[in-house]
Amino acid sequence: MNQDLSIVALIMHASLPVQLVIVGLLAMSLASWSVIFNKFFALSRIKAGNEGFESEFWSGKNLNELYNSVNGRQGGAPLERIFAAGMREFLKLRERRVAEPTALLDGARRAMRASYQRELDAMESHLSFLASVGSVSPYIGLFGTIWGIMHAFVGLSNLQQVTLATVAPGIAEALVATAIGLFAAIPAVLAYNRFARQIDRSAITLETFIEEFSNILQRNAGAPAGHHGAD
């Protein structure tokens, strides 16, 4: 309790620029924690949704039935939307009497690739903010510390006798800015690295599915639409 009060007292007695730096760093820390929690739950839902759809896809269900069940579904997993995009283009080209297997497959792959890029962009949203907080916060805190130390030494220049007791409060006030800068930066860096690894694994899952589904469509290019061909 006393330590918390002493920190609060140091912040309250710091110069205005240092206080503004501290307030800015605390706001960045709160914003980064909000992003961290939102991204954590979003990536968890994506992983669970992809796993659920993969199980359904490889269960041998008819492609047309699977497409009808997931097409236009709100809140579906990225794999569902990629599958729906590829299947939609495949069926559309067949309706246009496109019989060339290469043209059917290329159209479906382009649609899946476009959907894949949209999903990847959505998963990576706000990651750049965490990276910015992690890289910039220590320097902002260091700026506050340097400014505070300069302010403290300017105040000491008017004193006849300088002791550790007169120097320590001003230095401590300045160092609080660096401490808060690290407090904001460290969780943001750790979260960014964790989320980047999770997104990389999800991206590999999506790319693997695109290749596997493309092979199924290639086998089905000359067969009646709807045959799974996964066996």
Q: What global pTM score does this model have? A: 0.80
Query: Could you list the pLDDT tens digit for every one of the 231 residues in the chain?
Result: 344 436 666 677 677 887 888 899 999 999 999 999 999 999 999 999 999 999 989 988 888 888 888 876 777 889 999 999 999 998 888 888 777 878 888 999 999 999 999 999 999 999 999 999 999 999 999 988 888 888 777 766 666 665 655 666 667 777 888 889 999 999 999 999 999 999 999 999 999 999 999 998 888 766 544 444 443
63 in Cβ contact with 228 (< 8 Å): yes
- Hey, what are 23's tokens? 């307030």
Q: Distance (Å, rounded) from C-alpha 186 to C-alpha 182?
A: 6
134-148 in b/e burial notation, b at 16+ Cβ within 10 A?
Answer: bebbbebbbbbbebb
Q: Distance (Å, rounded) from C-alpha 67 to C-alpha 83?
A: 8
Q: What is the DSSP letter of 37?
A: H
